[in-house]
Chains A and B, each alone.
Chain A
């Protein structure tokens, strides 16, 4: 089944403790992206990757890192999480983002709480 898989689904951690949220897609998609969803703010893009070893900042990149060493994986790294990073995170991928009608496929989300 074609899908975007995020792990974990739920995560509670403490301020300053490094964590990684994994994202994997099995559709051979070139483009991958991370979003955070907050009440009243909709979805905001954190980072994106056009292909392997090509990443760039989105609208809210502060406090996050990403890497794209393989086509299928795009982990989100929080080196020193803070309470304002408590949010619902989504990974998404697309076959070829430069094609205008290529939609995003989303994972089921990771709900992160930082205390």
Chain B
């Protein structure tokens, strides 16, 4: 079975500070990993995805994530937070569940607050 754990339901940073949102997964086979962002009153949109081509993945809005197999982690980072980054962030893992669904499992989300 696969699962996703996001450490910290709420992260608060100052504008200009480093953003680090943690995601750990459990999977018996190499997974495909995604980060989605949800702005208030909107649906989720894709930030970046890992599909085994490169362990460091760059996404939109200056975010990037590094896949570390030994740590089963896929943490999301951004060097300098901007006020517009305030949103909820979801890590998701996908693998072939054995059926046709190729199930995508979401973490419970991390709410990022950026203080001026």
Q: How far is the CA of A50 from the CA of B102 in the complex (A)?
A: 11
Q: Are B43 and A90 in contact (CB under 8 A)?
A: yes
Contacting residues, chain A, for B46 (C-beta < 8 A):
103-104
**How many A residues, CB 8 Å from partner?**
23
Q: How far is the CA of A4 from the CA of B46 in the complex (A)?
A: 14
What total count of A-B pairs have CB within 8 Å? 53
The interface size bin for chain B is 20 to 34
Q: Are B42 and A109 in contact (CB under 8 A)?
A: yes
Contacts A43-B106, A48-B101; A101 near B32 (Cβ below 8 A): yes
19 A-B pairs with C-beta separation under 8 A: A41-B108, A42-B90, A42-B107, A43-B44, A43-B90, A45-B103, A48-B101, A90-B43, A90-B44, A92-B43, A97-B101, A98-B102, A100-B32, A100-B102, A101-B51, A104-B44, A104-B46, A106-B45, A109-B43
